[in-house]
Amino acid sequence: MQESFDAFVAARGSSLWRSAWLLTGDSGLAEDLVQTALAKAWPRFEKVSKRGSFEAYVRRTMFTTYATWWRRKWRGEQPTQTLPDRETAEPHESQSAAIRLDVQTALATLSPGQRAVVVLRYFDDLTETETANQLGCSLGTVKTHHARAIRALRGSPLLQMTEPEDAR
Amino acid sequence: MTDQLDPQEEQALRERLTSSVPEAPHSANRASRAATLGRTRQRRAVVAAGLAPLAVTVAVLVPMSLSDVGSDSPAADSGTTTSVAPTDPGDTPDSCSSEADLSQASSARLPFPDKPATWLRFCPKMALDEADAFRNPDVTLTEDVENLVADWIAPQASLNCSPTGNVYGDAFRLHIGFQDGSVRSLTGNASDCLVARLAEQELAVTGRQVFLQSMTALGQQLSETLPAVAPAGPLECPPQPYEPGQTDVNGPSTTLDLMPLPVSATRGLLCRYATVADDGGARFLGSVELDAGQADALRVAYHTGSTGMVDCARSSDPVYSLVLEDTTGTRRTITADLSMCGTIYSVVPTRGDRVPEVPNLASEWFRELLESTWADLRTD
């Protein structure tokens, strides 16, 4: 069992971490979230793997854990409008950092449920129904979270197309 | 203003999300650490199972019940579960306090189905000896319910039972929906005693743990259904703890007809006073700030208070004023006078006919938590 679990984590751990980073906006918290979800899911690895997708199970655990923990552990998250100076930063690195900050700032305005729906719909590319299954909630709840999230994101750079380089 | 994305906006959002995520760090021992943590969780349950005989002794002292209320489900009639489509939270029984539910709560005990729990309804009891005392929340909990209920089914090690007797504010009823469509009802109170014990399987969880975890989860889920409001400014201790309503703020959460403080607290301030014998007032001694976890734990414990007559001599114990604020900007001050039987002073606005009764005597849990929180955070 442990070998199969190791193989699963080696293959899918990075993908889980990327989703966790979008949820938390922080590398350390993302790792913490992935670890917790994997630990919760580990005892059920064999059982769940036999009847379906263990990754879906871990992801669901991760998203629900995120929603549960958000208020208890991660209230300190405060996106900043100013980045620390990096003398060695190349222009493309600065642009990536700016996009990252835009995303962190915009996502930080959303509730945990809204943020989870946005990440599942537009990063993990799930349908509304799949998102509802993943979060263990009704389709109506997903639609409500989605609508409120989009309203909240109006005006943020997240919804604006990137300008061509020569237009800058 | 539309709440749907046009194709260009959707493309922009997808691109921004994808391009913003940094490379995942290489973590060679991620799997082994997860397995170790997972084993620890399992081991905890196994160790506690060894204390099962004690659990049986304790459980018979506590009149609790567990029944299946999914009367429309074939599984409910037979007492066994069958594989059916997962239940949507919308299929839950109408109310925790309906007559049908109450009558079935005393029926034969049934085991939990061997399926994941998919939803949970937590109904606190906010009045004594009333048929409709169980308040029915509008929201059904769905987040992390599977893990929550799985943890409850795993036996717990701490079984130091202290029945709370004829309490009013800390009783609760749960409806738990499982993936096979069956629904279980479970009634208890927030004591150190077991909620239920079944012959067929290990179910050994204290009422206090269920109350704490359910109230916490409900508060969080309620907060997500209401608009968030920016904090109005720093929290302040009331100049006079016996008049706690002066700095209260009514946010959207005050419209909920459920319990005095239904939504999770996001911050708090704990103020300590000494009573002044000659004029009946109180002298301010100091205050400590509370983070969200500390504030919310005190919010939950406050709801386990009872109603009763004050009948004791004044002691030298302190007076605490607890200032709590939730995500909707609602701010409440609750004063617990530990020098006078733990008498509680608070102001809860009227909400029509179904005003929750407000505890006027602090529970032992609330008193102990006030004292231990102060002891942990004081800096002098």
A/B interface, count of CB pairs below 8 Å? 170
Pair (A11, A44) in one structural domain: yes
pLDDT at B75: 27
In a domain, A82, yes or no: no
User: Residues B226, B330: contact at Cβ < 8 Å?
Assistant: no
List of chain A residues whose C-beta atoms are within 8 Å of the C-beta of residue B33: 35, 39
Q: Does the pLDDT of residue B299 top 90, yes or no?
A: yes
Q: Which ranges of chain A does DSSP label H, i.e. alpha helix?
A: 2-24, 27-41, 45-51, 54-73, 91-108, 112-122, 128-135, 139-153
Residues of B within 8 A of A118 (CB-CB) are: 13, 17
Interface test with B, best of A19, A158, A160, A162 (most B CBs within 10 A): A158
Percent of chain B scored above 70 by pLDDT? 63
Note whether residue A78 is domain-resident: no
**Measured distance CA(B160)–CA(B170) in Å, rounded:** 18
Averaged pLDDT score across all residues of chain B = 70
Rg (CA), chain A: 18
Q: Tell me which of A85-94, B301-310, B314-323 is least confident.
A: A85-94
| pLDDT tens per residue across span B65-75 | 344 443 332 22
- What is the Cα gyration radius of chain B? 23
Give yes or no: residues A6 and A67 share one domain: yes
* pLDDT tens, position by position, A13-58: 999 999 999 988 888 888 988 998 898 888 778 877 876 678 888 8
A97 and A134 inside one domain: yes
The CATH number of the domain holding residue A119 is: 1.10.10.10
At residue A145, the pLDDT reads 82
Q: Is residue A79 a part of any domain in this protein?
A: no
- Residues of B in Cβ contact (< 8 Å) with A141: 142
Q: Is the model more confident about A48 or about B120?
A: B120
Res. B86: pLDDT tops 80? no
Q: Provide the pLDDT for residue B166.
A: 40
**CA dist B330 to B265, B295, B304, Å?**
9, 14, 20
pLDDT of residue B232: 74
* Range in B49-63, B81-95, B217-231 with the lowest mean pLDDT: B49-63
B266 vs A123: CB contact, 8 Å cut-off?
Answer: no
One domain for residues A100 and A158: yes
pLDDT at site B125: 76
The reported pLDDT for the residue numbered B328 is 87
Instruction: Decide if A156 touches B, using CB distance below 8 A.
Output: no
* Closest residue in chain B to residue A121, using alpha carbons only: B14
Provide, as residue numbers in chain B, all residues whose Cβ is less than 8 Å from the Cβ of A102: 16, 20
pLDDT-based confidence at A89, cuts 50/70/90?
very low
Asked whether residue A4 carries a pLDDT value surpassing 80, the answer given is yes
B143, A136: Cβ pair inside 8 Å? yes
In degrees, to the nearest 5, what angle opens at C-alpha B11 toward C-alphas B9 and B17? 100
In tens, the pLDDT along B166-210 reads 444 557 888 888 888 777 777 777 776 666 544 444 445 677 888
**Are residues B51 and A156 in contact, defined by beta-carbon separation less than 8 angstroms?**
no
pLDDT for residue B287? 93
Q: How far apart are CA A148 and CA A150, in angstroms?
A: 5
Least confident of B166-170, B347-351, B369-373: B166-170
Q: Tell if the pTM clears 0.90, that is, is over it.
A: no
Q: Which segment of A69-78, A124-133, B101-110, B315-324 scores lowest on mean pLDDT?
A: B101-110
The whole-number pLDDT of residue B60 equals 28
Which of A14, A73, A161 shows the shortest C-beta gap to B12?
Answer: A161
Number of neighbouring beta carbons within 10 Å of residue B90: 9
Average pLDDT over residues B201-224: 78
Of the two residues B326 and B207, the one the predictor is more confident about is: B326
A80 lies in some domain: no
Q: Are A120 and A53 members of one domain?
A: no
Q: Which residues of A touch B31 (CB under 8 A)?
A: 2, 5-6, 8-10, 13, 38
A4 CB within 8 Å of a chain B CB: no
- Average the pLDDT over B264-268 and give the result: 92
Give SS3 for B326: strand
Inspect the interface and report whether the beta carbons of A161 and B89 lie closer than 8 Å. Answer: no
pLDDT tens digits, one per residue of B9-37: 888 899 889 888 888 887 778 888 888 87
> Left, alpha or beta for B332 (phi > 0: left; psi -120 to 50: alpha)?
beta
* Whole-number pLDDT of residue A100: 84
State the Cα–Cα distance between residues B151 and B49, nearest whole angstrom.
13
Is the pLDDT at B53 greater than 60, yes or no?
no
In this prediction, residue B127 carries a pLDDT of 60
Q: Mark whether A62 and A3 lie in a shared domain.
A: yes
Select, from the ranges A102-111, A137-146, B151-160, B186-195, the one with the highest average predicted confidence (pLDDT): A102-111
- State whether A18 and B118 contact (CB < 8 Å): no
A105 within a domain of the structure (yes/no): yes
Interface of A with B in 62-81 (CB under 8 A): 64-65, 67-68, 70-73, 75
Going by their DSSP bridges, the two strands B265-275 and B183-189 should be labelled as unpaired
Q: Are A110 and A56 members of one domain?
A: no
What is residue B256's predicted lDDT score, i.e. its pLDDT? Answer: 78
Of residues A99 and B198, more confidently modeled: A99
What is the rounded CA–CA span in Å between residue B79 and residue B109? 9
B143/A68 Cβ within 8 A: yes
Q: Note whether residue A110 is domain-resident.
A: yes
Regarding whether A100 and A66 lie in a shared domain, the answer is: no
Instruction: Note whether B24 contacts A13, CB cutoff 8 Å.
Output: yes
Task: Decide if B22 and A36 are in contact by the 8 Å CB cutoff.
Answer: no
Residue B372 CB partners (closer than 8 Å, separation 6+): none
> How many domains does chain A contain in total?
2
Q: Flag whether residue A21 sits within 8 Å of chain B, measured between CB atoms.
A: yes
Q: Is residue A84 part of a domain?
A: no
Task: Say if residue B288's pLDDT is above 90.
Answer: yes
* Same domain, yes or no: A101 and A151: yes
- Are both A56 and A99 inside the same structural domain? no
Look at residue A107 and tell me whether its pLDDT is greater than 70: yes
pLDDT: is A94 or B41 the higher one? Answer: A94
Residue B35 has its nearest CB partner, among A34, A42, A68, at A42
Of A18, A39, A148, the CB nearest to B34: A39
Which domain-ending residue is among A28, A48, A73? A73
Domain final residue pick, A38, A73, A108: A73
Mean pLDDT of B36-54: 47
- What is the average per-residue pLDDT within B250-273? 87
A47 in contact with B at a CB cutoff of 8 Å? no
Q: Which residues contact B319 (CB under 8 A, 6 or more apart)?
A: B241, B272, B273, B274, B275, B282, B335, B336, B337, B338, B339
Give the residue, B133 or B221, on which the prediction is more confident. B221
Q: Which residues of B touch A40 (CB under 8 A)?
A: 38, 41, 147
B3:A146 CB<8 A: yes
What integer is the mean pLDDT of B311-316?
A: 76
Which of A2-16, B146-160, B219-233, B316-330 is least confident? B146-160
Q: Do B17 and A71 touch (CB under 8 A)?
A: no
Between B353 and B320, where is the model more confident? B320
Of the residues A29, A42, A138, A161, the best mutation for testing chain B's interface (the one with the most B CB atoms within 10 Å of its CB) is A42
Q: Which of the four pLDDT bands, split at 50, 70 and 90, describes residue B62?
A: very low
The residue segments making up the domain with residue A98 are: 90-168
For the ranges B30-44, B177-191, B323-337, B342-356, which has the lowest average pLDDT?
Answer: B342-356
- Tell me the nearest-neighbour CA distance from B302 into chain A, angstroms: 18
In this structure, are A52 and A103 located in the same domain? no
The pLDDT score that the predictor gives to residue B26 is: 78
- Give Cβ neighbours of residue B56 (< 8 Å, ≥ 6 apart): B197
Q: In this model, does residue B320 exceed pLDDT 80?
A: yes
Best interface-test mutation with B: which of A15, A24, A46, A72 has the largest number of B CBs within 10 A? Answer: A72
Which of the listed residues A14, A46, A73 is the one where a domain comes to its end? A73
The reply to whether A160 falls in a domain is: yes
pLDDT > 60? residue B119: yes
A63 and A97 fall within a common domain: no
B263: confidence class by pLDDT, cuts 50, 70, 90: very high
Q: What is the mean pLDDT of residues B41-46?
A: 45
**How sure is the predictor about A77, in pLDDT bands with cuts at 50, 70 and 90?**
very low
